[in-house]
Amino acid sequence: MSKPSTTLISAGRRAEWTQGIVNPAVWRASTTLYENCAALEEGRKHNADGQLFYGRRGTPTHWALAEALTALEPGAAGTMLFPSGLAAVMGALLAVLRPGDHLLMVDSVYDPTRRLCDQLLRSIGVETTYYDPMIGAEIATLIKPNTRAIFLESPGSLTFEVQDIPAIVAVARGHNIITLIDNTWATPLYLPALSLGVDISILACTKYICGHSDVMLGSVTSNAATHSRVRLMAQQLGQTTSPDDAALVLRGLRTLDVRLARHQENGLKVARWLAEQPQVARVIHPALRDCPGHAHWARDFRGASGLFSYVLKGGDKMARAALIDGLTHFGIGYSWGGFESLALPIDPEHFRSATHWQAEGPAVRLHIGLEDADDLIADLAAGLACYPAR
Ligand SMILES: *Cc1c(COP(=O)(O)O)cnc(C)c1O
């Protein structure tokens, strides 16, 4: 089997989809026309992926993207596309949970996923218990007879705890419980989650896979034990994505390896510099030694992307706002994974229930883009020089 960076280039480029050009065209379709009634009947019987049937089932543009994402996750049986990362989280959870089931959800999870559990899943009779991201094998103590699924997000996208995935998977397997991971931070390139025994890997392709901050799209890649359920749920929910968006995400995917390498290099350079600054209490970056779960990162991950946080030494939220507002090279906004740097004030204490967020001062999340790291550092240095730290 070829190496991941080679797979990234060739995956999904079947001749029948690309017709001899490098990328598949943007196939737009709702209706597929059949030669006659017998052919229509035949198409319905097969119910196969990768064949034109009806627009909701996708076109070669979608299949090429889905197949490429599947190829990037060794152990995967298939990938379903969703109109956003959050829709992908939702589709995957609905695929594995039924009324009366119990879900174990990591406490550091992306906040909209938490709201999904607390509101929609709750309203259909699914009970959620939040667990400490650092719980590891101790998760066994939280399992109930009706526990159906364990959801991981590693690292958390605000506070960056790196979970002990193999320990949690081993417990889950022993109890016949399905594991799902939000793998948006690392992507399958830096964390081949299904190889570690996770059943379902979810990506907000909106972030690094697209990489250019101009598309919303999500994906769910599953192993053989779970893929048919995810596929059925995605189809029942009527989830589709635009072929233009699929083509843009596929274009972004081809350069993921080189982009991530630069995000990693720049991110580490900025993180290490920040850690030395007197105004900074700590930097929370999975590749730095004092990050919770750093040893898990070193054991299981192949790299670090460009998203991390730092905690200021004292000062208040107004001082933090002034610090962020004064930056030149950092945009202020949600999302991340594009080519550009972003800064975001974060207050993780509002999104916790099983654990407590304690910090020396206000916190900032940075997405480090593809700019020259020295320019980013100079920008951050100018801001910190005026920061009223303790
Ligand atoms: C952004 C994000 C999502 C949701 O993706 P959207 O495409 O914005 O809906 C899910 N999980 C994580 C960790 C994210 O950062």
Q: Which residues contact 321 (CB under 8 A, 6 or more apart)?
A: 345
Among residues 212, 235, 254, the one where a domain terminates is: 254
Task: State whether 118 and 176 are in the same domain.
Answer: yes
pLDDT score for 51: 87
- Is position 390 within any domain? no
Cβ-contact 68, 203 below 8 angstroms? no
- Is position 265 within any domain? yes
Among residues 254, 279, 294, the one where a domain terminates is: 254
Task: State whether 205 and 278 are in the same domain.
Answer: no
Please report which confidence band the pLDDT of residue 49 belongs to, taking 50, 70 and 90 as the band edges: confident
Q: Is 365 a catalytic residue?
A: no
For 345-351, what is the mean pLDDT? 94
Task: State whether 59 and 106 are in the same domain.
Answer: yes
Q: Is 56 a catalytic residue?
A: yes
Q: Is the CB of 182 under 6 A from ligand 1?
A: yes
Separation CA 358–CA 386 (nearest Å): 24
- Is position 14 within any domain? yes
Task: State whether 243 and 279 are in the same domain.
Answer: no
Please report which confidence band the pLDDT of residue 127 belongs to, taking 50, 70 and 90 as the band edges: very high
Q: Is the CB of 157 under 6 A from ligand 1?
A: yes
pLDDT score for 46: 79
Q: What is the CATH number of the domain that holds 338?
A: 3.90.1150.10
Q: Which residues contact 234 (CB under 8 A, 6 or more apart)?
A: 80, 81, 82, 91, 95, 220
Q: Is the CB of 219 under 6 A from ligand 1?
A: no
Task: State whether 261 and 285 are in the same domain.
Answer: yes
Q: State the distance from the centre of ligand 1 to the C-alpha of 41, rounded, in angstroms.
A: 39
Task: State whether 155 and 261 are in the same domain.
Answer: no
Q: State the distance from the centre of ligand 1 to the C-alpha of 249, rounded, in angstroms.
A: 15
Residue 143 has pLDDT above 90, yes or no: yes
Task: State whether 269 and 243 are in the same domain.
Answer: no
Among residues 254, 269, 291, the one where a domain terminates is: 254
Q: Is the CB of 159 under 6 A from ligand 1?
A: no
Separation CA 283–CA 348 (nearest Å): 15
pLDDT score for 47: 75
Sign of the Cα torsion 41, 42, 45, 47 reads negative
Domain tally for the chain?
2
Give the neighbor-by-neighbor strand order of the sheet with 342-346. 280-284, 307-312, 363-367, 342-346, 331-332
Residue 50 has pLDDT above 90, yes or no: no
Domain limits for position 337: 256-385
Task: State whether 274 and 197 are in the same domain.
Answer: no
Task: State whether 290 and 234 are in the same domain.
Answer: no
